[in-house]
Amino acid sequence: METTKLPPSSPSSPTTGFLVPSAEKVDGFPRRSMRRARQRRSHSSSQFRYQSSQVELTPLPLLKDAPVAELHDLFCKKLQQCCVMFDFLDCVADLKGKEIKRAALNELVESVATSRGVLIEPLYPEAIKMISVNIFRTLPPSENPEFDPEEDEPTLEASWPHLQLVYEFFLRFLESLDFQPSMAKRYVDQKFVLQLLELFDSEDPREREYLKTILHRVYGKLLGLRAYIRKQINNIFLRFIYETEHFNGVAELLEILGSIINGFALPLKSEHKQFLVRVLIPLHTARSLSIFHAQLAYCVVQFMEKDATVTEYIIRGLLKYWPKTCTQKEVMFLGEIEEILDVIEPSQFIRIQEPLFKQIAACISSPHFQVAERALYFWNNEYILSLIEENCRVILPLVFATLYRVSKEHWNQTIVSLIYNVLKTFMEMNSKLFDDLTASYKVEKQKELKRERERTELWRGLEEHQERRMQMLTDAARNQRNLQERDKMSSSTCHTVLLNTGVHMPLLGLGTDKLVSPDIVHQAVDAALAAGYRAFDSATVYQNESALGQALKKLLPKYGLTREDVFITSKLGPKDQGERAKEAALRSLAQLDLSYIDLYLIHWPGTQNRSVSDQRNSGNRAQSWAVLEELHAQGTLKAIGVSNYTPAHMRELMQSCKVPPALLQVEFHPQLCQDELRSVCKEYGVCFQAYSSLGRGDLLHGPVVLEVAKNCGRSPAQVLLRWAVQQGVPVLPKSSNPDRIRENAEIFDFSISDSDMDRLSALECSHRYCWDPSQVV
């Protein structure tokens, strides 16, 4: 027989605002993670439900003062009184009525929680009617279809002062010692449960917390509804996966399911196994997986602990849906795999080890260090290590080539150290097999290098031939295209700043940090060119120079543009400072597939793996700058500059350089005005350029920024960008969203008043959203 474990109650209501004695606990679901929600917007679906011809409420006698003979009649009247709805968007309307209803609800909650004999049969329909009238409503459409719970604030229910007490009453009603499931099932039926489940799509997290606990109580007390509840949750998930991709209450429903799964009887029914394979595993494909992954992984592990035979279905399902381009999801998948391996049976491990460790090998070779690091941490788990040791002859050949290659090539020293430890562990497990694989790898590597040289030479010849052909076509049509392009140029391209090299650089450029996927880079560049952007900012550490170069090569002809019509910036990475600077700069040139780079910067003043106080940083800066001067003299780098330099770094550079820097790129926004750096740049004739102009969500939603935006009739992002360019500071807003890219370009057809400019500048508080250059190298 199936059972369900009702979790112990928590010391207070799921939300603040109504405190109850510690002995009367409510929420039994421990939070696995807690986000700080900034409450900004509110809406009320009750505005569509309140009575236009409002009933005038009058206070009723207190329940505690009522004679026993009149108690139930008075309780019923108060329930009926609480069926009157109010409009909470009008804060001053019906204040007396709202207070009477609030007091009545508080009395009802207290009476049900503390008194015996209150819940008699005639009160059940009245109680359920009052609950239904208050909580069941059509949820309003989301004000932000692209709502991101990690960055945006939730939309809160304006009628919460009453709605919370109604939920509290419902919860106390279900938990009362007088509660009779046989009576309640006549009114809490399938229709009621379906409406209750639909409320889980509420954007208000406080409401979803109550609904989670209430639904679990209903599941535990009304046994006849259990199958129906599971079926409807199944339908919600299927609709979420294959149709809408939007449902706010997925995490809460999964928490309930975790407890339900724990109570499944053995052997598992076929319907439960189908739910695992057809619903829980495909849920991993959701774009919003990070919101509910902890709860989902818990449910999956619960299934495994119930029945080990489902292990192969789970592992192969995760491998089927393994993320290809989202490293954040890949780290989550690896964490879930480790949770599974922690409880896997050795007999089941043998069945999945080959496909699993092929995928783990692919993760180890990932250029994203967090993915590689998470995969290598498997060897720190004693139980997993014991499974690997038992099956070393199968697993070592699957991962050896990857481990050996990545140990020589990976850019992150932490990853290299972890790989050395893993290789040492394997060598201790089976030294003979390790030596055989080492010799075999070296032979195969030589053959591969030979094939690669032959391939490279062939392709170089083909590319040179194609380049000559394209150059001929380009030269023949260049003048005509340039004339056409000047007529088409949008207003944003007419705004430039003059560098000390005599070249005009656009005031607006597209930042490409975090844009790694070639498809996303292509989409962003396409939208930017269409919106009038003519400057693009990349860097070695962004790992997208090749994607940017390919996107420009494909898209410039689409808009009738040539290489000379765009301004490309890239940067020397911290690990390439010093003697490797020339090789890195030429590698950037090759990755971008260009004959020259318009502007090349030293990304950070320090060298990777050296402390801030290490005197060798100064020598590496000087050596790197000398290399940039040499490439500038050759015409490979049209202009050179620096990024994240402090005033001290700038003065040091100006004392020794032969070619002065054309530009300094640093973090700049109203909370970090960089007055000293700007003065230094002005003194030396160096262009001052901003990144992170939009800060984070709290800067965009600050009251001063919102008020200035309202005054200008523009978005907060446009105001922050305009604040910079109105001071002659070029900006590099980054986005892959075409609508936001277009919005960010529309900053040259309005201006901010002097008083509003001063108000924005007064936000200065030396607050950084990015790393502090004086502390990070």
Structure tokens at 150: 């990690």
Please, what is the Cα angle at 526 between 522 and 529, to 5 degrees? 135
Structure tokens at 312: 């192969």
Q: Are 403 and 363 in contact (CB under 8 A)?
A: no
Structure tokens at 482: 């340039």
CA 225, CA 211: separation in Å to the nearest integer? Answer: 16
Burial of 110 (0-12, 13-18, 19+ CB in 10 A): middle
CA 63, CA 49: separation in Å to the nearest integer? Answer: 28
CA 676, CA 523: separation in Å to the nearest integer? Answer: 38
Query: How is 159-205 classified by DSSP, letter by letter?
Result: THHHHHHHHHHHHHHHH-TT--HHHHTTTS-HHHHHHHHHGGG-S-H
Q: Which residues contact 761 (CB under 8 A, 6 or more apart)?
A: 670, 673, 723
Catalytic one among 124, 210, 542, 691?
542
Q: Are 212 and 171 in contact (CB under 8 A)?
A: no
Active site residue 542: yes
Q: Sheet of 640-643: strands edge to edge?
A: 510-511, 535-537, 567-572, 599-602, 640-643, 663-667, 687-691
In angstroms, the Cα distances linking 98 to 48, 55, 93, 171, 536 are 17, 12, 9, 22, 57
**Cis bond leading into 267, ω under 30°?**
yes
Q: For the chain, what is the total number of helices (H) and then of strands (E)?
A: 30, 11
Active site residues: 542
